[in-house]
Amino acid sequence: MSQTISLTEFANRLQQLAAQAQADNSADWSTKYLGKKGLFKQISADIRAVNDKKAAGQALNDLKSRLEAIAAQKNVATVTAPPTPALDFTLPAADTPVGHLHPVSQMIEQITDIFGRLGFIRVRHPELDDDENVFGRLNMAPGHPARDEWETFFVHHPGTPGHQHIRWVMTPHTSNGQVHEMLRLGKPPIRMINIARTYRRQQDVTHTQMFHQFEGLMVDKDVNITHLKGVLDYFAREFYGPDSRSRIRPFHFQFTEPSFEIDFSCHFCHGTGQTDNGDKCKFCKSGWHEVGGAGMVHPHVLQACGLDPTQYTGFAFGWGIERTYTLQDNIDVPDIRNFYNGNLEFLQQF
Ligand code: DAH
């Protein structure tokens, strides 16, 4: 156990310190006696060794007042305030963080702009629609198995007295925009781009239940597949860069005949499928990325939308917006759900 100090001894030490302070005229007086590690602080610690803490505390308070009086007499500042930096009013103000358009909105603007240069006008058609517009007029009669390809959400309205129960479709694709546009205009020429939210019962790292698609449609006299290919190549160059190309492969969709899947050349390996040292390109493996579907509008669809298929032909194409980002080499989309979970770190890369 440490040594005890009598109250008298303690008081004596305090007296000595006061006398020393009184006689001292050094420039750092304030720090030396009243500073954070000064002599008053040091001597205060000795109170632990005094039995009569109450009296010793009182003596310390007296010493503190005495030192402050001496400081006032010597005209020294007892508080060592940090130097105030000079204010420079000519400096620019601190930056305020500013947000930006959501990547999906940015992409919508970009897509609208690219197709706009080819005369495709952006339109907006319903995201909650009638079964007939989403499936029926697109050559998928009730009960047709092709309907199963779209994992569709339905909204049931119970109906009101005098009105029957209604089953709305939450559009699983933007192809219903084709139907609306043909019915709206009644006759070609038609060149539209319908961009809307779409819904499907899927959720994992590459799918969200709500996502965006865009749908292109061109109908006129003598429209053929070469026009479709030209439009897709134009998009590839404008969107992915001057050496990007598109490729169409035979496929099946119920509302187009013939139908195709659309690929764009991989911009990592420039469509070769290989890295410079002959390894397989890790990003695409084959030189191409599949992005969406396309085809010549099926005669049944033209007819169901009031157009004469013996006079007019057309092409259509469509694919997802979020997915398009996953094919850009400067953007990292490890989980597509990041578009919608408010993850700023992810969103700030756009
Ligand atoms: N609607 C199709 C889908 O959601 C994509 C599509 C395929 C759109 C062919 C088209 C088309 O316009 O012609 O997968």
Q: Is the CB of 173 under 6 A from ligand 1?
A: yes
Predicted confidence at residue 276, as pLDDT, reads 85
Provide mean pLDDT across the span 136-142.
96
User: Using 50, 70 and 90 to split pLDDT, how confident is the model at 296?
Assistant: very high
What does the alpha-carbon distance between residue 172 and residue 194 come to, in Å, rounded to a whole number? 14
| Residue with CA at minimum distance from ligand 1 atom 13 | 294
Taking the CA of residue 260 as reference, the ligand 1 atom at the shortest distance is 9
Task: Please state at what angle helix 225-240 crosses helix 103-116, rounded to 10 degrees.
Answer: 130
- Identify which of 173, 199, 202, 251 to mutate to test ligand 1's pocket (most ligand atoms within 8 A of the CB): 173
Does 68 share its domain with 148? no
Does 292 share its domain with 337? yes
Question: Is residue 95 domain-resident?
Answer: no
Does 67 share its domain with 113? no
Question: Is residue 88 domain-resident?
Answer: no
Predicted confidence at residue 98, as pLDDT, reads 87
For 315-328, how does the pLDDT look when each residue is reduced to its tens digit (9 = 90+)? 999 999 998 888 77
Torsions phi, psi of 257, nearest 5? -155, 110
User: Using 50, 70 and 90 to split pLDDT, how confident is the model at 78?
Assistant: low
Percent of the chain with pLDDT over 70: 97
Residue 290 confidence (pLDDT) above 60: yes
Taking the CA of residue 215 as reference, the ligand 1 atom at the shortest distance is 12
The CATH number of whichever domain residue 157 belongs to comes to 3.30.930.10
User: Using 50, 70 and 90 to split pLDDT, how confident is the model at 332?
Assistant: confident
Does 63 share its domain with 211? no
Task: State which residues form the domain around 148.
Answer: 103-347
Task: Please state at what angle helix 53-74 crosses helix 7-23, rounded to 10 degrees.
Answer: 10
Does 69 share its domain with 144? no
User: Which of the listed ranges 37-41, 265-269, 270-274 does the model predict with the highest average pLDDT?
Assistant: 37-41
For 97-131, how does the pLDDT look when each residue is reduced to its tens digit (9 = 90+)? 889 999 999 999 999 999 999 999 999 999 999 99
Does 109 share its domain with 28? no
Does 189 share its domain with 292? yes
Question: Is residue 276 domain-resident?
Answer: yes
Predicted confidence at residue 160, as pLDDT, reads 79
Question: Is residue 2 domain-resident?
Answer: no
Question: Is residue 341 domain-resident?
Answer: yes
Residue 172 confidence (pLDDT) above 80: yes
Mode of pairing for the β-strands spanning 190-199 and 121-123: parallel
- Identify which of 127, 249, 253, 319 to mutate to test ligand 1's pocket (most ligand atoms within 8 A of the CB): 253
Taking the CA of residue 293 as reference, the ligand 1 atom at the shortest distance is 7
Counting the structural domains of the chain, the total is 2
Question: Is residue 322 domain-resident?
Answer: yes
Provide mean pLDDT across the span 248-259.
97
Separation in Å, CA 226 to CA 230, 245, 313: 6, 14, 13
Does 245 share its domain with 138? yes
Helix, strand, coil % in the chain, rounded to nearest 5: 35, 20, 40
Q: Is the CB of 320 under 6 A from ligand 1?
A: no
Percent of the chain with pLDDT over 90: 68
Predicted confidence at residue 200, as pLDDT, reads 96
> pTM (2 decimals)?
0.73
What does the alpha-carbon distance between residue 125 and residue 175 come to, in Å, rounded to a whole number? 10
For 30-52, how does the pLDDT look when each residue is reduced to its tens digit (9 = 90+)? 899 998 899 999 999 999 899 99
Question: Is residue 90 domain-resident?
Answer: no
Does 61 share its domain with 151? no
What does the alpha-carbon distance between residue 307 and residue 189 come to, in Å, rounded to a whole number? 11
For the chain, what is the mean pLDDT? 92
Task: Pick the last residue of a domain from 27, 56, 73.
Answer: 73
Q: Three-state DSSP class for 185?
A: helix
CA angle 219, 224, 228 (to 5 degrees): 80
User: Using 50, 70 and 90 to split pLDDT, how confident is the model at 283?
Assistant: confident
Does 315 share its domain with 263? yes
Predicted confidence at residue 82, as pLDDT, reads 66
- Tokens for 267? 């911009």
Does 18 share its domain with 109? no
Does 122 share its domain with 61? no
What does the alpha-carbon distance between residue 217 and residue 214 come to, in Å, rounded to a whole number? 10
Residue 80 confidence (pLDDT) above 60: no
Question: Is residue 65 domain-resident?
Answer: yes
